[in-house]
Structure 1
Protein backbone atom coordinates (compact mmCIF):
# COMPACT_ATOMS: atom_id res chain seq x y z
CA UNK A 1 0.00 0.00 0.00
CA UNK A 2 1.47 3.36 -1.00
CA UNK A 3 1.76 6.22 1.46
CA UNK A 4 -1.36 8.34 2.06
CA UNK A 5 -1.63 11.14 -0.48
CA UNK A 6 -3.57 13.43 1.83
CA UNK A 7 -2.42 16.14 4.22
CA UNK A 8 -2.31 15.14 7.91
CA UNK A 9 -5.39 15.79 10.01
CA UNK A 10 -5.31 19.15 11.80
CA UNK A 11 -6.69 19.32 15.36
CA UNK A 12 -6.82 23.10 15.93
CA UNK A 13 -9.74 25.45 15.32
CA UNK A 14 -8.08 26.81 12.16
CA UNK A 15 -6.37 25.10 9.27
CA UNK A 16 -3.21 25.85 7.30
CA UNK A 17 -2.54 24.12 3.95
CA UNK A 18 0.05 21.36 4.08
CA UNK A 19 2.88 21.37 1.55
CA UNK A 20 3.55 17.64 1.91
CA UNK A 21 1.54 16.59 -1.13
CA UNK A 22 1.31 17.93 -4.68
CA UNK A 23 -2.07 16.26 -4.87
CA UNK A 24 -3.78 18.34 -2.19
CA UNK A 25 -7.47 19.00 -2.61
CA UNK A 26 -9.35 22.30 -2.42
CA UNK A 27 -9.30 23.62 1.10
CA UNK A 28 -12.00 25.60 2.85
CA UNK A 29 -11.32 27.13 6.25
CA UNK A 30 -13.48 29.25 8.53
CA UNK A 31 -11.36 31.73 10.53
CA UNK A 32 -13.48 34.04 12.70
CA UNK A 33 -15.80 35.84 10.28
CA UNK A 34 -13.59 35.44 7.20
CA UNK A 35 -13.83 32.33 5.04
CA UNK A 36 -10.67 31.69 3.02
CA UNK A 37 -10.81 29.29 0.06
CA UNK A 38 -7.49 27.78 -0.98
CA UNK A 39 -7.69 26.42 -4.53
CA UNK A 40 -5.37 23.56 -5.47
CA UNK A 41 -7.10 21.34 -8.15
CA UNK A 42 -9.16 18.75 -6.39
CA UNK A 43 -11.82 18.67 -3.71
CA UNK A 44 -12.26 20.65 -0.54
CA UNK A 45 -10.80 19.94 2.88
CA UNK A 46 -12.02 21.81 5.93
CA UNK A 47 -11.73 21.56 9.66
CA UNK A 48 -14.86 21.30 11.81
CA UNK A 49 -14.66 20.27 15.44
CA UNK A 50 -18.31 19.23 15.52
CA UNK A 51 -17.82 16.70 12.71
CA UNK A 52 -15.11 14.66 14.42
CA UNK A 53 -15.93 11.08 15.33
CA UNK A 54 -16.73 7.87 13.47
CA UNK A 55 -18.74 7.63 10.27
CA UNK A 56 -22.14 5.99 10.66
CA UNK A 57 -22.19 3.01 8.31
CA UNK A 58 -25.98 2.92 8.29
CA UNK A 59 -26.14 6.52 7.11
CA UNK A 60 -23.52 5.85 4.44
CA UNK A 61 -25.53 2.88 3.20
CA UNK A 62 -28.79 4.80 3.14
CA UNK A 63 -27.67 8.00 1.41
CA UNK A 64 -25.42 6.55 -1.30
CA UNK A 65 -26.52 7.62 -4.78
CA UNK A 66 -25.95 4.08 -6.03
CA UNK A 67 -24.67 0.83 -4.56
CA UNK A 68 -23.23 -1.85 -6.81
CA UNK A 69 -21.83 -5.27 -5.98
CA UNK A 70 -23.14 -8.16 -3.94
CA UNK A 71 -24.46 -7.48 -0.45
CA UNK A 72 -22.24 -10.30 0.86
CA UNK A 73 -19.08 -9.08 -0.88
CA UNK A 74 -16.10 -9.38 1.50
CA UNK A 75 -15.17 -5.69 1.07
CA UNK A 76 -17.33 -2.56 1.07
CA UNK A 77 -16.02 0.85 0.08
CA UNK A 78 -17.54 4.33 0.09
CA UNK A 79 -16.43 6.47 -2.84
CA UNK A 80 -16.78 10.27 -2.43
CA UNK A 81 -16.63 12.37 -5.58
CA UNK A 82 -17.73 15.70 -7.04
CA UNK A 83 -18.40 15.97 -10.78
CA UNK A 84 -16.59 19.34 -10.85
CA UNK A 85 -13.44 17.90 -9.23
CA UNK A 86 -10.50 17.46 -11.68
CA UNK A 87 -8.81 14.84 -9.52
CA UNK A 88 -12.07 12.89 -9.44
CA UNK A 89 -11.88 12.78 -13.23
CA UNK A 90 -8.36 11.38 -12.92
CA UNK A 91 -9.54 8.87 -10.34
CA UNK A 92 -12.40 7.69 -12.55
CA UNK A 93 -10.06 7.27 -15.52
CA UNK A 94 -7.47 5.28 -13.57
CA UNK A 95 -9.58 3.25 -11.13
CA UNK A 96 -13.21 3.34 -12.26
CA UNK A 97 -13.12 0.16 -14.32
CA UNK A 98 -10.98 -1.73 -11.79
CA UNK A 99 -13.57 -1.04 -9.09
CA UNK A 100 -16.44 -2.15 -11.32
CA UNK A 101 -14.54 -5.30 -12.34
CA UNK A 102 -14.04 -6.18 -8.67
CA UNK A 103 -17.73 -5.57 -7.99
CA UNK A 104 -18.71 -7.81 -10.90
CA UNK A 105 -16.35 -10.47 -9.59
CA UNK A 106 -18.17 -10.43 -6.25
CA UNK A 107 -15.20 -9.23 -4.20
CA UNK A 108 -16.22 -5.58 -3.76
CA UNK A 109 -19.35 -3.60 -2.90
CA UNK A 110 -19.24 0.08 -3.91
CA UNK A 111 -21.33 2.88 -2.42
CA UNK A 112 -21.12 6.01 -4.54
CA UNK A 113 -21.48 9.38 -2.78
CA UNK A 114 -21.82 12.40 -5.06
CA UNK A 115 -20.82 15.57 -3.25
CA UNK A 116 -21.69 19.09 -4.38
CA UNK A 117 -19.41 21.53 -2.57
CA UNK A 118 -17.56 22.55 -5.74
CA UNK A 119 -20.59 24.38 -7.11
CA UNK A 120 -18.63 27.58 -6.47
CA UNK A 121 -16.01 26.51 -9.01
CA UNK A 122 -18.48 26.01 -11.84
CA UNK A 123 -19.47 28.66 -14.31
CA UNK A 124 -23.17 28.30 -13.48
CA UNK A 125 -22.58 28.18 -9.74
CA UNK A 126 -24.60 24.97 -9.34
CA UNK A 127 -23.12 22.44 -11.76
CA UNK A 128 -22.03 19.96 -9.07
CA UNK A 129 -25.59 19.83 -7.70
CA UNK A 130 -27.23 19.54 -11.11
CA UNK A 131 -24.81 16.84 -12.27
CA UNK A 132 -25.33 14.90 -9.03
CA UNK A 133 -29.09 15.25 -9.45
CA UNK A 134 -28.85 14.04 -13.03
CA UNK A 135 -26.83 11.00 -11.96
CA UNK A 136 -29.40 10.31 -9.24
CA UNK A 137 -32.16 10.35 -11.87
CA UNK A 138 -30.22 7.72 -13.81
CA UNK A 139 -29.57 5.66 -10.67
CA UNK A 140 -33.27 5.72 -9.76
CA UNK A 141 -34.08 4.02 -13.06
CA UNK A 142 -32.33 0.94 -11.71
CA UNK A 143 -30.00 0.24 -14.63
CA UNK A 144 -26.52 -0.09 -13.15
CA UNK A 145 -24.75 -0.19 -16.51
CA UNK A 146 -26.43 3.02 -17.69
CA UNK A 147 -25.48 4.77 -14.45
CA UNK A 148 -21.85 3.70 -14.78
CA UNK A 149 -21.73 4.85 -18.42
CA UNK A 150 -23.27 8.18 -17.49
CA UNK A 151 -20.94 8.56 -14.50
CA UNK A 152 -17.93 8.03 -16.79
CA UNK A 153 -19.33 10.33 -19.48
CA UNK A 154 -19.78 13.22 -17.05
CA UNK A 155 -16.13 12.93 -16.07
CA UNK A 156 -14.91 12.49 -19.64
CA UNK A 157 -16.76 15.70 -20.57
CA UNK A 158 -16.10 17.58 -17.34
CA UNK A 159 -16.42 21.36 -17.84
CA UNK A 160 -13.47 23.60 -17.07
CA UNK A 161 -13.55 25.36 -13.74
CA UNK A 162 -15.27 28.71 -14.07
CA UNK A 163 -16.17 28.01 -17.69
CA UNK A 164 -19.43 27.19 -19.38
CA UNK A 165 -21.09 24.03 -18.12
CA UNK A 166 -24.04 22.02 -19.48
CA UNK A 167 -27.56 23.12 -18.62
CA UNK A 168 -30.12 20.52 -17.57
CA UNK A 169 -31.26 19.95 -21.15
CA UNK A 170 -27.68 19.17 -22.17
CA UNK A 171 -27.25 16.85 -19.18
CA UNK A 172 -30.39 15.04 -20.31
CA UNK A 173 -28.97 14.69 -23.82
CA UNK A 174 -25.81 13.14 -22.39
CA UNK A 175 -28.00 10.64 -20.56
CA UNK A 176 -29.85 9.82 -23.77
CA UNK A 177 -26.50 9.14 -25.43
CA UNK A 178 -25.76 6.33 -22.94
CA UNK A 179 -29.22 4.78 -23.20
CA UNK A 180 -31.25 6.49 -20.46
CA UNK A 181 -35.02 6.27 -20.84
CA UNK A 182 -37.23 9.18 -21.85
CA UNK A 183 -38.58 9.33 -18.30
CA UNK A 184 -35.04 9.58 -16.92
CA UNK A 185 -34.20 12.31 -19.40
CA UNK A 186 -37.25 14.28 -18.25
CA UNK A 187 -36.19 13.86 -14.62
CA UNK A 188 -32.82 15.39 -15.51
CA UNK A 189 -34.20 18.17 -17.70
CA UNK A 190 -36.62 19.20 -14.96
CA UNK A 191 -33.97 19.10 -12.23
CA UNK A 192 -36.30 16.82 -10.28
CA UNK A 193 -33.60 15.14 -8.17
CA UNK A 194 -31.31 18.12 -7.50
CA UNK A 195 -32.71 18.93 -4.05
CA UNK A 196 -32.49 15.28 -3.00
CA UNK A 197 -28.94 15.06 -4.34
CA UNK A 198 -27.95 18.12 -2.29
CA UNK A 199 -29.46 16.63 0.87
CA UNK A 200 -27.67 13.31 0.34
CA UNK A 201 -24.44 15.13 -0.45
CA UNK A 202 -24.57 17.04 2.82
CA UNK A 203 -25.24 13.87 4.81
CA UNK A 204 -22.37 12.08 3.06
CA UNK A 205 -20.07 15.05 3.61
CA UNK A 206 -20.83 15.02 7.33
CA UNK A 207 -19.98 11.32 7.57
CA UNK A 208 -16.80 11.77 5.55
CA UNK A 209 -15.73 14.63 7.79
CA UNK A 210 -16.31 12.46 10.85
CA UNK A 211 -14.25 9.63 9.37
CA UNK A 212 -11.36 11.98 8.56
CA UNK A 213 -11.24 13.74 11.91
CA UNK A 214 -12.95 16.94 10.84
CA UNK A 215 -11.71 17.15 7.25
CA UNK A 216 -13.31 16.21 3.95
CA UNK A 217 -12.05 16.04 0.39
CA UNK A 218 -12.61 14.47 -3.01
CA UNK A 219 -11.81 11.99 -4.25
CA UNK A 220 -11.76 9.87 -1.12
CA UNK A 221 -12.34 6.15 -0.67
CA UNK A 222 -13.25 4.79 2.75
CA UNK A 223 -12.89 1.13 3.62
CA UNK A 224 -14.10 0.10 7.03
CA UNK A 225 -14.39 3.79 7.88
CA UNK A 226 -10.72 4.45 7.09
CA UNK A 227 -9.32 6.38 4.11
CA UNK A 228 -7.62 4.20 1.50
CA UNK A 229 -4.23 5.59 0.48
CA UNK A 230 -2.73 5.76 -3.00
CA UNK A 231 -6.01 6.01 -4.89
CA UNK A 232 -4.55 8.51 -7.36
CA UNK A 233 -1.48 6.40 -8.06
CA UNK A 234 -3.26 3.93 -10.34
CA UNK A 235 -5.72 1.05 -9.93
CA UNK A 236 -3.43 -1.24 -7.95
CA UNK A 237 -5.04 -0.16 -4.67
CA UNK A 238 -8.16 -2.11 -5.70
CA UNK A 239 -6.24 -5.38 -6.00
CA UNK A 240 -4.43 -4.67 -2.74
CA UNK A 241 -7.72 -4.00 -0.98
CA UNK A 242 -9.63 -7.05 -2.17
CA UNK A 243 -6.61 -9.21 -1.52
CA UNK A 244 -6.51 -8.18 2.13
CA UNK A 245 -8.74 -8.80 5.12
CA UNK A 246 -12.48 -8.26 4.91
CA UNK A 247 -13.72 -4.77 5.82
CA UNK A 248 -17.29 -3.46 5.75
Structure 2
Protein backbone atom coordinates (compact mmCIF):
# COMPACT_ATOMS: atom_id res chain seq x y z
CA UNK A 1 0.00 0.00 0.00
CA UNK A 2 1.31 3.42 -0.91
CA UNK A 3 1.99 5.56 2.14
CA UNK A 4 0.46 9.03 2.05
CA UNK A 5 2.22 11.48 4.33
CA UNK A 6 2.26 15.15 5.16
CA UNK A 7 5.85 15.49 3.97
CA UNK A 8 8.39 13.56 1.92
CA UNK A 9 11.02 14.20 4.57
CA UNK A 10 11.78 11.21 6.75
CA UNK A 11 12.26 12.45 10.31
CA UNK A 12 12.45 9.19 12.24
CA UNK A 13 13.57 5.80 10.90
CA UNK A 14 13.43 2.51 12.80
CA UNK A 15 15.72 -0.09 11.25
CA UNK A 16 15.66 -3.78 12.22
CA UNK A 17 14.97 -3.03 15.87
CA UNK A 18 15.22 -6.10 18.10
CA UNK A 19 14.97 -6.40 21.86
CA UNK A 20 15.38 -9.51 24.00
CA UNK A 21 15.53 -10.11 27.72
CA UNK A 22 17.72 -13.17 28.07
CA UNK A 23 16.20 -15.86 25.85
CA UNK A 24 12.85 -14.04 25.59
CA UNK A 25 12.47 -12.09 22.34
CA UNK A 26 10.18 -9.04 22.60
CA UNK A 27 10.84 -7.08 19.40
CA UNK A 28 11.75 -9.01 16.26
CA UNK A 29 13.01 -6.71 13.55
CA UNK A 30 10.80 -3.60 13.63
CA UNK A 31 11.07 -1.42 10.53
CA UNK A 32 9.18 1.78 9.71
CA UNK A 33 9.60 5.48 8.98
CA UNK A 34 7.79 8.54 10.24
CA UNK A 35 7.78 11.62 8.02
CA UNK A 36 7.80 15.18 9.27
CA UNK A 37 4.32 16.36 10.25
CA UNK A 38 2.76 12.91 10.43
CA UNK A 39 0.58 11.56 13.22
CA UNK A 40 1.34 7.83 13.43
CA UNK A 41 -0.35 5.48 15.88
CA UNK A 42 0.99 2.10 16.98
CA UNK A 43 -1.48 -0.57 18.12
CA UNK A 44 -1.10 -4.23 18.97
CA UNK A 45 -2.28 -6.92 21.36
CA UNK A 46 -1.43 -6.76 25.05
CA UNK A 47 2.11 -7.90 25.70
CA UNK A 48 3.28 -7.09 22.18
CA UNK A 49 6.04 -4.79 23.41
CA UNK A 50 4.54 -1.40 22.48
CA UNK A 51 6.13 0.36 25.46
CA UNK A 52 9.44 -1.44 24.94
CA UNK A 53 9.42 -0.24 21.34
CA UNK A 54 8.73 3.36 22.31
CA UNK A 55 11.40 3.37 25.01
CA UNK A 56 13.92 1.97 22.54
CA UNK A 57 13.02 4.61 19.95
CA UNK A 58 13.37 7.37 22.56
CA UNK A 59 16.84 6.23 23.61
CA UNK A 60 15.64 5.32 27.12
CA UNK A 61 16.88 1.75 26.68
CA UNK A 62 19.30 0.16 24.25
CA UNK A 63 17.98 -2.31 21.67
CA UNK A 64 19.57 -5.72 21.38
CA UNK A 65 20.21 -4.96 17.72
CA UNK A 66 19.02 -2.55 15.05
CA UNK A 67 18.78 1.19 15.49
CA UNK A 68 16.67 4.32 15.41
CA UNK A 69 17.78 7.29 13.31
CA UNK A 70 16.36 10.68 14.27
CA UNK A 71 17.07 13.70 12.07
CA UNK A 72 20.01 11.87 10.49
CA UNK A 73 21.63 10.80 13.77
CA UNK A 74 21.56 7.36 15.38
CA UNK A 75 19.75 7.48 18.73
CA UNK A 76 21.97 6.29 21.61
CA UNK A 77 20.45 8.53 24.30
CA UNK A 78 17.31 10.73 24.50
CA UNK A 79 17.64 13.35 21.72
CA UNK A 80 17.20 17.02 22.56
CA UNK A 81 14.32 17.59 20.13
CA UNK A 82 12.32 14.51 21.06
CA UNK A 83 9.84 14.56 23.96
CA UNK A 84 8.03 11.68 25.66
CA UNK A 85 4.65 11.73 27.41
CA UNK A 86 4.00 8.65 29.53
CA UNK A 87 0.78 6.95 30.60
CA UNK A 88 1.32 7.39 34.34
CA UNK A 89 1.20 11.15 34.87
CA UNK A 90 1.25 10.63 38.67
CA UNK A 91 4.81 9.34 38.37
CA UNK A 92 6.07 11.65 35.62
CA UNK A 93 5.13 14.87 37.43
CA UNK A 94 7.18 15.72 40.52
CA UNK A 95 4.69 16.28 43.38
CA UNK A 96 6.90 18.70 45.31
CA UNK A 97 7.11 21.06 42.33
CA UNK A 98 4.38 23.35 41.05
CA UNK A 99 2.87 22.70 37.65
CA UNK A 100 4.86 25.58 36.15
CA UNK A 101 8.08 24.22 37.66
CA UNK A 102 7.33 20.76 36.25
CA UNK A 103 6.74 22.18 32.78
CA UNK A 104 9.97 24.20 33.01
CA UNK A 105 12.15 21.19 33.89
CA UNK A 106 13.37 20.40 30.35
CA UNK A 107 14.04 24.09 29.69
CA UNK A 108 16.79 24.59 32.26
CA UNK A 109 19.78 26.27 30.70
CA UNK A 110 18.00 27.00 27.41
CA UNK A 111 17.40 30.72 27.87
CA UNK A 112 16.73 33.56 30.28
CA UNK A 113 14.23 33.24 33.12
CA UNK A 114 11.82 35.51 31.26
CA UNK A 115 12.13 33.47 28.06
CA UNK A 116 11.56 30.19 29.88
CA UNK A 117 8.62 31.69 31.76
CA UNK A 118 7.04 32.77 28.48
CA UNK A 119 7.43 29.32 26.94
CA UNK A 120 5.95 27.68 30.03
CA UNK A 121 2.97 30.02 29.99
CA UNK A 122 2.37 29.44 26.29
CA UNK A 123 2.40 25.67 26.83
CA UNK A 124 -0.01 25.92 29.77
CA UNK A 125 -2.39 28.13 27.80
CA UNK A 126 -2.22 25.71 24.86
CA UNK A 127 -3.36 22.75 27.00
CA UNK A 128 -6.08 24.71 28.80
CA UNK A 129 -4.22 25.29 32.08
CA UNK A 130 -3.91 29.06 32.00
CA UNK A 131 -3.61 30.37 35.55
CA UNK A 132 -2.94 26.90 36.99
CA UNK A 133 0.84 27.11 37.08
CA UNK A 134 1.08 27.68 40.85
CA UNK A 135 -0.91 24.56 41.68
CA UNK A 136 0.77 21.29 42.60
CA UNK A 137 0.00 18.08 40.70
CA UNK A 138 -1.82 16.56 43.66
CA UNK A 139 -4.23 19.51 43.67
CA UNK A 140 -5.40 18.69 40.13
CA UNK A 141 -7.61 16.06 38.51
CA UNK A 142 -6.08 13.25 36.49
CA UNK A 143 -7.01 14.92 33.24
CA UNK A 144 -5.42 18.19 34.32
CA UNK A 145 -2.25 16.37 35.39
CA UNK A 146 -1.98 14.73 31.98
CA UNK A 147 -2.49 18.13 30.34
CA UNK A 148 0.44 19.37 32.44
CA UNK A 149 2.55 16.41 31.30
CA UNK A 150 1.70 17.22 27.67
CA UNK A 151 2.58 20.88 28.27
CA UNK A 152 5.99 19.85 29.58
CA UNK A 153 6.55 17.80 26.43
CA UNK A 154 5.62 20.75 24.22
CA UNK A 155 7.43 23.49 26.13
CA UNK A 156 10.66 23.27 24.16
CA UNK A 157 8.99 22.79 20.76
CA UNK A 158 10.06 19.19 20.06
CA UNK A 159 10.27 17.96 16.49
CA UNK A 160 8.77 14.63 17.59
CA UNK A 161 6.38 13.94 20.45
CA UNK A 162 6.31 10.28 21.57
CA UNK A 163 3.19 9.38 23.56
CA UNK A 164 2.87 6.06 25.41
CA UNK A 165 -0.84 5.32 26.01
CA UNK A 166 -1.18 8.81 27.51
CA UNK A 167 -4.97 8.71 27.97
CA UNK A 168 -5.36 5.18 29.34
CA UNK A 169 -5.66 6.31 32.95
CA UNK A 170 -8.38 8.97 32.49
CA UNK A 171 -12.17 8.65 32.22
CA UNK A 172 -13.92 8.35 28.86
CA UNK A 173 -15.09 11.97 28.65
CA UNK A 174 -11.65 13.33 29.51
CA UNK A 175 -10.09 10.96 27.00
CA UNK A 176 -12.22 12.38 24.19
CA UNK A 177 -11.22 15.92 25.17
CA UNK A 178 -7.53 15.02 25.27
CA UNK A 179 -7.69 13.30 21.88
CA UNK A 180 -8.99 16.48 20.28
CA UNK A 181 -6.47 18.52 22.26
CA UNK A 182 -3.49 16.58 20.93
CA UNK A 183 -4.74 16.90 17.34
CA UNK A 184 -4.97 20.66 17.77
CA UNK A 185 -1.54 20.84 19.41
CA UNK A 186 0.04 18.87 16.58
CA UNK A 187 -0.98 21.67 14.24
CA UNK A 188 -0.30 24.53 16.65
CA UNK A 189 3.24 23.37 17.43
CA UNK A 190 3.90 21.92 13.96
CA UNK A 191 5.21 18.74 15.56
CA UNK A 192 5.28 15.10 14.52
CA UNK A 193 3.52 12.59 16.77
CA UNK A 194 4.20 8.88 17.34
CA UNK A 195 1.40 7.64 19.59
CA UNK A 196 1.11 4.20 21.23
CA UNK A 197 -2.37 3.06 22.25
CA UNK A 198 -4.31 -0.15 22.89
CA UNK A 199 -7.58 1.55 21.83
CA UNK A 200 -8.44 0.84 18.19
CA UNK A 201 -11.00 3.66 17.83
CA UNK A 202 -8.50 6.13 19.28
CA UNK A 203 -5.77 5.02 16.89
CA UNK A 204 -7.98 5.31 13.81
CA UNK A 205 -9.44 8.66 14.88
CA UNK A 206 -6.07 10.28 15.57
CA UNK A 207 -3.75 8.83 12.98
CA UNK A 208 -2.66 9.59 9.46
CA UNK A 209 -1.25 6.05 9.54
CA UNK A 210 -1.77 3.09 11.88
CA UNK A 211 1.05 0.60 12.42
CA UNK A 212 -0.36 -2.73 13.60
CA UNK A 213 1.95 -4.98 15.61
CA UNK A 214 1.92 -8.75 15.85
CA UNK A 215 2.12 -10.59 19.15
CA UNK A 216 5.54 -11.05 20.75
CA UNK A 217 8.10 -11.50 19.37
CA UNK A 218 6.78 -8.42 17.66
CA UNK A 219 6.99 -7.18 14.09
CA UNK A 220 4.90 -4.73 12.07
CA UNK A 221 1.98 -6.66 10.54
CA UNK A 222 0.51 -3.87 8.46
CA UNK A 223 0.92 -0.17 7.74
CA UNK A 224 -2.53 1.33 7.15
CA UNK A 225 -3.18 4.82 5.75
CA UNK A 226 -6.42 6.06 7.34
CA UNK A 227 -7.30 8.54 4.56
CA UNK A 228 -9.67 10.41 6.86
CA UNK A 229 -10.37 14.12 6.28
CA UNK A 230 -9.01 16.85 8.53
CA UNK A 231 -9.99 18.51 10.77
CA UNK A 232 -11.63 15.63 12.61
CA UNK A 233 -14.74 15.49 14.73
CA UNK A 234 -15.58 12.84 17.31
CA UNK A 235 -19.09 12.29 15.91
CA UNK A 236 -18.80 13.05 12.21
CA UNK A 237 -15.45 11.33 11.63
CA UNK A 238 -16.54 8.15 13.38
CA UNK A 239 -19.67 7.98 11.23
CA UNK A 240 -17.64 7.86 8.01
CA UNK A 241 -17.56 4.62 6.05
CA UNK A 242 -13.78 4.84 5.83
CA UNK A 243 -13.47 5.03 9.62
CA UNK A 244 -15.44 1.79 9.92
CA UNK A 245 -13.33 0.08 7.24
CA UNK A 246 -10.03 0.94 8.91
CA UNK A 247 -11.36 0.07 12.36
CA UNK A 248 -12.52 -3.36 11.11
CA UNK A 249 -9.16 -4.04 9.45
CA UNK A 250 -7.16 -3.12 12.57
CA UNK A 251 -9.48 -5.16 14.80
CA UNK A 252 -9.17 -8.20 12.52
CA UNK A 253 -5.37 -7.99 12.51
CA UNK A 254 -5.16 -7.71 16.29
CA UNK A 255 -7.56 -10.60 16.84
CA UNK A 256 -5.49 -12.69 14.46
CA UNK A 257 -2.32 -11.80 16.37
CA UNK A 258 -3.98 -12.80 19.63
CA UNK A 259 -5.10 -16.19 18.24
CA UNK A 260 -1.62 -16.98 16.94
CA UNK A 261 -0.10 -15.97 20.27
CA UNK A 262 -2.36 -18.38 22.13
CA UNK A 263 -1.42 -21.41 20.00
**Please, what TM-score do these two structures have when normalized by structure 2?**
0.30
The structure, 1 or 2, with the larger RCO (C-alpha pairs under 8 Å, 6+ apart) is: 1
- In the superposition, the TM-score normalised over structure 1's length comes to 0.31
* More strand per residue: 2
